Structure 1
Protein backbone atom coordinates (compact mmCIF):
# COMPACT_ATOMS: atom_id res chain seq x y z
CA UNK A 1 0.00 0.00 0.00
CA UNK A 2 1.33 3.45 -0.87
CA UNK A 3 2.44 5.87 1.83
CA UNK A 4 -0.06 8.73 1.95
CA UNK A 5 1.84 10.90 4.42
CA UNK A 6 2.16 13.73 1.90
CA UNK A 7 -1.65 13.91 1.67
CA UNK A 8 -2.21 14.19 5.42
CA UNK A 9 -3.53 17.58 6.55
CA UNK A 10 -2.99 18.39 10.23
CA UNK A 11 -5.04 21.09 11.94
CA UNK A 12 -5.61 22.21 15.49
CA UNK A 13 -9.15 21.74 16.80
CA UNK A 14 -9.07 23.86 19.97
CA UNK A 15 -12.74 23.16 20.73
CA UNK A 16 -11.91 19.47 21.18
CA UNK A 17 -8.37 20.10 22.50
CA UNK A 18 -6.72 18.00 19.84
CA UNK A 19 -4.75 18.12 16.64
CA UNK A 20 -6.48 16.24 13.85
CA UNK A 21 -4.97 14.44 10.87
CA UNK A 22 -7.19 14.11 7.84
CA UNK A 23 -6.87 12.28 4.56
CA UNK A 24 -9.39 14.00 2.34
CA UNK A 25 -12.61 14.33 4.33
CA UNK A 26 -11.78 11.44 6.67
CA UNK A 27 -10.45 11.86 10.18
CA UNK A 28 -7.40 9.59 10.16
CA UNK A 29 -6.11 10.32 13.64
CA UNK A 30 -5.76 12.81 16.45
CA UNK A 31 -3.42 13.90 19.22
CA UNK A 32 -5.24 15.06 22.34
CA UNK A 33 -3.73 17.70 24.59
CA UNK A 34 -4.22 19.82 27.69
CA UNK A 35 -3.24 23.46 27.86
CA UNK A 36 -1.69 24.85 31.01
CA UNK A 37 0.10 28.12 31.52
CA UNK A 38 3.09 28.10 29.19
CA UNK A 39 2.74 24.41 28.36
CA UNK A 40 0.91 21.98 26.09
CA UNK A 41 0.67 18.44 27.40
CA UNK A 42 0.07 15.74 24.80
CA UNK A 43 -1.95 13.02 26.52
CA UNK A 44 -3.06 10.56 23.83
CA UNK A 45 -2.55 9.91 20.13
CA UNK A 46 -4.76 7.66 18.08
CA UNK A 47 -4.66 6.67 14.41
CA UNK A 48 -7.60 4.87 12.86
CA UNK A 49 -6.99 1.21 12.06
CA UNK A 50 -7.60 1.79 8.35
CA UNK A 51 -4.81 4.39 8.31
CA UNK A 52 -2.10 2.45 10.14
CA UNK A 53 1.26 2.17 8.40
CA UNK A 54 0.58 5.12 6.10
CA UNK A 55 2.65 7.73 7.92
CA UNK A 56 -0.38 9.39 9.51
CA UNK A 57 1.03 9.24 13.05
CA UNK A 58 4.34 10.75 12.04
CA UNK A 59 2.63 13.47 10.00
CA UNK A 60 0.35 14.18 12.94
CA UNK A 61 3.24 14.50 15.40
CA UNK A 62 5.26 16.70 13.05
CA UNK A 63 2.28 18.90 12.18
CA UNK A 64 1.24 19.38 15.79
CA UNK A 65 4.76 20.16 16.97
CA UNK A 66 5.40 22.49 14.04
CA UNK A 67 2.24 24.38 15.00
CA UNK A 68 3.33 24.58 18.64
CA UNK A 69 6.70 25.98 17.50
CA UNK A 70 5.10 28.47 15.09
CA UNK A 71 2.61 29.66 17.70
CA UNK A 72 5.44 30.16 20.19
CA UNK A 73 5.40 30.56 23.92
CA UNK A 74 4.62 26.95 24.84
CA UNK A 75 6.82 24.10 25.97
CA UNK A 76 5.75 20.51 25.34
CA UNK A 77 5.15 17.83 27.94
CA UNK A 78 4.81 14.57 25.98
CA UNK A 79 2.93 12.21 28.30
CA UNK A 80 1.63 10.32 25.29
CA UNK A 81 4.08 7.47 24.52
CA UNK A 82 3.77 7.99 20.75
CA UNK A 83 4.57 11.72 20.83
CA UNK A 84 7.34 11.12 23.38
CA UNK A 85 8.90 8.42 21.20
CA UNK A 86 8.57 10.51 18.05
CA UNK A 87 10.34 13.47 19.67
CA UNK A 88 13.10 11.14 20.93
CA UNK A 89 13.76 10.08 17.31
CA UNK A 90 13.76 13.66 15.96
CA UNK A 91 16.43 15.76 17.66
CA UNK A 92 15.27 18.95 15.97
CA UNK A 93 12.07 18.84 18.10
CA UNK A 94 13.66 18.09 21.47
CA UNK A 95 14.12 21.79 22.23
CA UNK A 96 10.33 22.08 22.57
CA UNK A 97 10.21 19.65 25.51
CA UNK A 98 9.71 21.13 28.96
CA UNK A 99 12.74 20.51 31.14
Structure 2
Protein backbone atom coordinates (compact mmCIF):
# COMPACT_ATOMS: atom_id res chain seq x y z
CA UNK A 1 0.00 0.00 0.00
CA UNK A 2 1.20 3.50 -0.80
CA UNK A 3 1.26 6.34 1.65
CA UNK A 4 -1.77 8.56 2.05
CA UNK A 5 0.01 11.10 -0.15
CA UNK A 6 0.53 8.74 -3.08
CA UNK A 7 -2.25 8.57 -5.61
CA UNK A 8 -2.38 5.49 -7.82
CA UNK A 9 -3.24 5.86 -11.48
CA UNK A 10 -4.60 3.07 -13.66
CA UNK A 11 -2.87 2.00 -16.84
CA UNK A 12 -5.80 3.44 -18.78
CA UNK A 13 -5.37 6.90 -17.25
CA UNK A 14 -1.65 6.81 -17.99
CA UNK A 15 -2.22 5.74 -21.62
CA UNK A 16 -4.89 8.39 -22.13
CA UNK A 17 -2.69 11.12 -20.65
CA UNK A 18 0.27 10.07 -22.83
CA UNK A 19 -1.96 9.99 -25.91
CA UNK A 20 -3.23 13.48 -25.08
CA UNK A 21 0.33 14.82 -24.93
CA UNK A 22 1.04 13.19 -28.31
CA UNK A 23 -2.12 14.41 -30.01
CA UNK A 24 -2.70 17.84 -28.47
CA UNK A 25 0.57 19.55 -29.28
CA UNK A 26 0.58 20.84 -25.70
CA UNK A 27 3.46 20.47 -23.29
CA UNK A 28 3.52 17.68 -20.73
CA UNK A 29 3.15 20.30 -18.00
CA UNK A 30 0.07 21.86 -19.62
CA UNK A 31 -1.63 18.48 -20.09
CA UNK A 32 -0.77 17.45 -16.53
CA UNK A 33 -2.32 20.64 -15.14
CA UNK A 34 -5.48 20.12 -17.20
CA UNK A 35 -5.81 16.57 -15.91
CA UNK A 36 -4.83 17.32 -12.33
CA UNK A 37 -1.80 15.02 -12.52
CA UNK A 38 1.66 15.82 -11.24
CA UNK A 39 3.77 17.06 -14.17
CA UNK A 40 6.66 14.91 -12.89
CA UNK A 41 4.48 11.79 -13.00
CA UNK A 42 3.24 12.51 -16.52
CA UNK A 43 6.75 13.37 -17.73
CA UNK A 44 8.03 10.04 -16.37
CA UNK A 45 5.18 8.09 -17.95
CA UNK A 46 5.69 9.90 -21.24
CA UNK A 47 9.45 9.30 -21.32
CA UNK A 48 9.02 5.61 -20.47
CA UNK A 49 6.36 5.26 -23.17
CA UNK A 50 8.65 6.87 -25.74
CA UNK A 51 11.51 4.62 -24.66
CA UNK A 52 9.25 1.56 -24.91
CA UNK A 53 8.55 2.56 -28.49
CA UNK A 54 12.27 3.15 -29.00
CA UNK A 55 11.86 6.83 -29.84
CA UNK A 56 13.75 10.00 -29.04
CA UNK A 57 15.26 9.04 -25.71
CA UNK A 58 19.01 8.58 -26.16
CA UNK A 59 20.46 6.10 -23.73
CA UNK A 60 17.03 4.94 -22.55
CA UNK A 61 16.32 1.23 -22.93
CA UNK A 62 13.21 -0.04 -24.68
CA UNK A 63 10.82 -2.26 -22.72
CA UNK A 64 12.15 -5.31 -24.53
CA UNK A 65 15.74 -4.34 -23.71
CA UNK A 66 14.85 -3.78 -20.03
CA UNK A 67 13.18 -7.20 -19.91
CA UNK A 68 16.21 -8.84 -21.51
CA UNK A 69 18.60 -7.04 -19.15
CA UNK A 70 16.54 -8.17 -16.15
CA UNK A 71 16.56 -11.76 -17.44
CA UNK A 72 20.30 -11.71 -18.13
CA UNK A 73 21.12 -10.24 -14.72
CA UNK A 74 19.08 -12.97 -13.04
CA UNK A 75 20.79 -15.65 -15.13
CA UNK A 76 24.19 -14.15 -14.31
CA UNK A 77 23.37 -14.10 -10.58
CA UNK A 78 22.30 -17.76 -10.69
CA UNK A 79 25.44 -18.77 -12.57
CA UNK A 80 27.64 -16.89 -10.10
CA UNK A 81 25.95 -18.70 -7.21
CA UNK A 82 26.62 -22.02 -8.93
CA UNK A 83 30.28 -21.08 -9.44
CA UNK A 84 30.59 -20.08 -5.78
CA UNK A 85 29.10 -23.40 -4.64
CA UNK A 86 31.43 -25.38 -6.91
CA UNK A 87 34.46 -23.44 -5.65
CA UNK A 88 33.57 -24.31 -2.06
CA UNK A 89 33.27 -28.03 -2.93
CA UNK A 90 36.67 -28.17 -4.63
CA UNK A 91 39.40 -29.45 -2.34
CA UNK A 92 42.12 -26.91 -1.70
CA UNK A 93 45.57 -27.69 -3.06
Which band: TM-score by shorter chain?
0.3 to 0.5
More helix by share: 2
> Whose Rg is larger?
2
More strand by share: 1
